[in-house]
Amino acid sequence: MNIKKLILQGEGTTLDFKKTINSNEKIAKSLVAFANNKGGQLLIGVADDGSIKGVKSEDEERYMITKSAHQFCRPAIEPEFEEIYVDDKLVLVVTIHPSDTKPHYALDENKKWWVYFRVQDKSLLASKIIVDVIKKSGDPNGQLISYREDEKKLFEYLGQQGRITLKEFSKITRSSYKKAQKVLVSLIISGLIQPHSSEKEEYFTSIQ
């Protein structure tokens, strides 16, 4: 594994840098976000700017991550570890595979369990729509899409505005949030639209 080449890619959907591990809750959030999405790797001993600091105690870091994965993640997650020396500094590579038992929940500082999802370089709290997508994405029967009036209105709106929120979709179709959410989930899983999440809002665009 070429760590320097990997670091040059920067943090993203499947890569996260951690200078050190000092919170079981924070690392559980990252582990869950990776497991609920495409999987990923944590590089322990690497700062946010990509500089290699190295880990001081590999055993301590490994213990903290394993404890987080087993006690602060539900269902438990099984991380894989690899030790790599770069310029005489030890980097601990933690690999999280995409899970077959989604969704995973992480325990926060208030002893509450939440679902997280990896979006670009952030581990974000999953909305109800994303939780539904995570739950149904492993359905072997897939999704059967039929183009009804609601779907037509959605794509007409996207053609004009480029993006839509759940509230906007509910309004133009005069349907409940629950019904509108169900349509959006089906279209996301079918690969026809994609979600975009930030700490402030969630919206959807068509996939070009």
Contact present, 91 and 52 (Cβ < 8 Å): yes
Question: How is domain 3-126 classified at the architecture level of CATH?
Answer: 2-Layer Sandwich (3.30)
Euclidean distance between CA atoms 31 and 94, whole angstroms: 9
Report the CATH fold assignment for 136-206: Arc Repressor Mutant, subunit A (1.10.10)
Q: Which two tokens stand for residue 79?
A: 């991380």
- Regions of the chain short of the pLDDT cut 50: none
Q: Which of 41, 43, 31 is nearest to 99 (CA)?
A: 31
> 105: part of which helix (H) or strand (E)?
strand 105-107
> 93: part of which helix (H) or strand (E)?
strand 89-96
- Domain range summary for the chain, segments of one domain joined by +: 3-126, 136-206
Please give the model's pTM, rounded to 2 decimal places: 0.80
Span 47-92, pLDDT tens digits: 999 999 999 888 899 999 999 999 999 999 999 999 999 989 999 9
Euclidean distance between CA atoms 148 and 144, whole angstroms: 12
- C-alpha distance from residue 188 to each of 61, 145, 164 (Å): 37, 11, 13
At 141 the pLDDT is 54
Q: Which two tokens stand for residue 3?
A: 């760590």
